[in-house]
Amino acid sequence: MYRLIYFSSPGRAEAIRIVLDISKLSWENVIVDFSGYSEMRDSKKLPWGLLPALETPSGTLSESCAILRYLGDMTYLKIDDEWQSAKVDECLDAISDMSNILTETFRINNIDEKIAARKKLVDSGGKLSNCYDLFCEKLENSKTGWIAGTEKPSIADIKLFSDCFGLVSGNYDGIDTSLLKGRDALLDFHSKISVIPEISSRYEEMQDDPLRWVYCQNAFSNE
């Protein structure tokens, strides 16, 4: 039995949840609040003191990208070619860097300042806007439509799906779906990946979920 421990939000765990579904492993989605997390951290149960963490028969694994690689290798998402696999890692790290840009705004307490800082990131020329442009460019240049140019989807595609669309759910003040406007390559990518059976069935009842509606098929059909 595998146990994924994280907060209730998609955050750094949602891509892992999708890969766990794809893996067909038997797993438990363990949701903790901040006090549950603090208890685990203080009792040294977390390898690096942070979540997500995956309890496995071999021990506890931390770091979201390491967990994705470990689980992805047990599924059809595994890429055997070494070069292609390195390009998948490259994409994973680049997508993580994109998500970390937003993390920098979490420490701003004043809501107006927080929104202003985020607006700057998503406005044309802003750091997040540039990342989204780059993702579109990569998708447009990919012969297969998968972000790392692999023949089949990889864990990098699952992370792109979870992080890029997770950002525009409305959960983050100052950021909304306008970040996708005109970025047709990303919208096409959404249509392509959201029909993967394990993804469509995971989200099929979540159209009204404030955080996860972005992962439903046709979520952006009006964009």
Ligand X SMILES: N[C@@H](CCC(=O)N[C@@H](CS)C(=O)NCC(=O)O)C(=O)O
Q: What is the nearest approach in angstroms of ligand X to the Cβ of residue 145?
A: 26
Beta strand 53-56 with 2-6 is antiparallel
Closest CB 128 distance from ligand X, rounded Å: 17
Q: How far is the CB of 72 from ligand X (least distance, A)?
A: 15
Whole-number Å distance between alpha carbons of 126 and 146? 25
Closer CB to ligand X, residue 37 or residue 146?
37
Residue with smaller CB distance to ligand X, 95 or 186: 95
Residues forming the site for ligand X (CB under 6 A) = 11-12, 50-52, 63-64
Q: Between 12 and 138, whose beta carbon lies closer to ligand X?
A: 12
Chain centroid to Cα 134, Å, comes to: 17
CB of 12 to ligand X, least distance (A): 5
As given in the structure block, the two tokens for residue 72 are 């992805």
Of the pair 92, 122, the CB lying nearest ligand X is at 92
